Amino acid sequence: MSTSIFYHAGCPVCVSAEHDIINLIGADNVEIVHIGEDKSRIAEAEQAGVKSVPALVTPTKNVLHLNFGASIADVKA
Amino acid sequence: MSTSIFYHAGCPVCVSAEHDIINLIGADNVEIVHIGEDKSRIAEAEQAGVKSVPALVTPTKNVLHLNFGASIADVKA
């Protein structure tokens, strides 16, 4: 099965959504990326169309913004 | 496995997210509810904490608003 990527920044909304996504699709099916800690991957997230976190990029490259924790601009700051 | 509920209103953002969710968690694990057509279930969605569609209510009753298609107020109008 193809893997989704879950981008987050450690915010409470992010942590809650991370638990939900892992419960729903399984930890093996999603890569968790903390772009607050790993800023080298912010550009990749933006390229994928991520505007805010938490967000899930599906295997088909659609972006699902899950609720709203922080904008990418906030994460960069 | 417990079932999630996906609330939508037929909007393009809703349809796209519906496809993503079915691909990710499987059609058997999610009930699809079109609250634009079945307005009797709008109150249930609001009670669950749904503010806009598309939204997924998880088996643990968390609400994940997926991108933004329309507010509940828009659906009621």
pLDDT, tens digit (0-9, with 9 covering 90-100), for A5-60? 999 999 999 999 999 999 999 999 999 999 999 999 999 999 999 999 999 999 99
Q: Is pLDDT above 90 for B2?
A: no
**Rounded to 10 degrees, what is the CA torsion of B46, A8, B14, A4?**
-130
Residue with tokens 């899930």: A56
* Residues of chain B contacting residue A4, judged by C-beta atoms under 8 Å apart: 24
ipTM for the whole complex: 0.92
Q: Closest by alpha carbon to A22, among B30, B45, B48, B60?
A: B60
Q: For A18, which residue in chain B has the nearest alpha carbon?
A: B64
Strands (E), A1-77: 4-8, 30-34, 52-57, 63-71
H-assigned helices in chain B = 12-25, 42-48, 72-76
- Tens of pLDDT, residues B12-49: 999 999 999 999 999 999 999 999 999 999 999 999 99
Contact B63 A67 (CB under 8 A): yes
Q: What is the pTM of this model?
A: 0.94
Inter-CA distances, A40 with A9, A75, B57, Å: 13, 12, 33
B13 shares contact with chain A (CB less than 8 Å) = no
What 8-state DSSP symbol labels residue B59?
A: T
